[in-house]
Chains A and B, each alone.
Chain A
């Protein structure tokens, strides 16, 4: 499964936001290598910084953010690129599906125009074939009647239709790396299966997928590699089936337990506020195997039989 070279290499990325004079460390020392053709899933509670990482990859963070660390995409450092080169990568080589598709689409344009414009910017296909290309992408995204769908306005469509519209726009540009940020949020069962099918299609076409989700079942079916994040840090990372079948970090084990099919018992307490993080391990006051050491010293990420864990017990 591991192909010859990593398409994306993030090394100790840490992002802090400055809002109203208060520093918020959203992500601290996040590093991960994503192999070409594989699907990596980042899972964790909402607010643990996983979406921040997704947006940092394409330099879409707002002005009040400070970013340290390097993100190498196809051995180009994203944060060293000039604006023009970055624009040629965005959409053409890395596509990102935003969380709330309703507000991500321009309300006053028909779907056809919103798909036509990026194709025209990146000149993906010659002009005469664009019509056919758009229809093909719409069908792939799950629209039964592409001519009708192309004439729709976002405000006239439901949430699910807009989600599929966003997918169609991204896939029509045929990017090498697709970042899906919470694709299944707020969707019912049948819609989730549709999204899952189109994501499978991405992998089928030998593209890389970075899945940001809190839906562990989706991660289980799709991902080859899983990264678990908690309060801005990686607590556990490794091959998917190994981590999901035998989670070693207490937080991961708690996540698995909280699934409906495993008894539905959630982890007590809630994540610490990012503005005043505890001394030791950030999961200390919710961990059932907590020791005095956990409260004093923060744990370091160590390599333990093929997976990375941040816990004093290893």
Chain B
């Protein structure tokens, strides 16, 4: 037995030595690095092509405009903008005293070049390429001329980062261009390294940045492939904050994070919400009385308690949450099983065979096909229970995300659960019209409403930039939702962003949360 035991201990010794050598690494010296944890993964080092990198690169290549904390559009790279009365000519005035990280000054040519480049070679900016007819540059002003009127161009231009012309003009296919090396940026930091294997993106301080600076000379954004690991990393203190596009820190994890005692919570109401969508092209969903009955059969308070653990509130019929400007007070959703049954009864849905489930005109029990993505399983269970108590049969079908996109576009469902994002609420004519307008397709939209009144309302909004008129239209849109209930909001919620107590100066806006220039120039470390 001696020889094999000998082999066994050499192997064990080997493993132990490796382990001990590695553990001696310990935690590196904690110099001024701001560490942000996220679960949005960068899939490829393509500066423009990768979706998640596109979210991060606003830090190094600021777009023209940005949104302040209460949702108003303010200048970022541009100081301000003017619009021609017929909304076809937009002129942006570029702030002076801004320099690329390689020292060259930022000019209007860079802006003109970037927007034209987006139009020609980036898939999601196809509308620029189709409608942009002429671009004029004089001094620090850029004028874009379109062949059709745009009212929300300023909003669109909060997402297109401006790139240095002298570098990107030589790249013939920018969408497919990949490099992990440093990119030239004009923001407070430039993108130094995209490292897929280490799972992080590193920003270094921009040497020629003239504005305010924060205490940190590097910002590291590390992505995790699962929320449990991210939450544990945050709790262990090696990460300073947690950010995820259009969603909050997992509500269930907040208590254990508070227990560690060294984290504060930034709580901001968000316009992202979860709602129940109807397939209006099918019986009985097209009947408003049926939708009314469904809306009063849902126990909103319990949904708020379970899905948001109290960090949310019962929504109003007007669908649009108070976080959006142009919000008006509408009747809140109220849960009353009796009225639900009475409305069903008066609308002609009888339960003749007494099995607790109402029958359609053809005498068969009504069983709605509730199609959901797997992240909505819990809400679907509750909805099924509530509707069945009110007499409406529900069959839950879980499908994988892509299958849901395809089935939703083919309207192969009765009711579904999905979410809105802050950006989605502003899309199209704003105030969630992008989700309902049947003329507009896209992954997250339902495109179920083709009611003339609603479509005309959207076109009116799209054709004006006059703020008072827009306020009026906003009121009409919300009253339309309250009246027709194309979608039932389940709850409004607040987005929670935890941050290390020792760090102050966080600033959060509805669109990108803490990922904005105010944060990265104002963050102070009191350690």
The answer on direct contact between A and B (beta carbons under 8 Å) is no
B residues engaging A (CB < 8 A)?
none
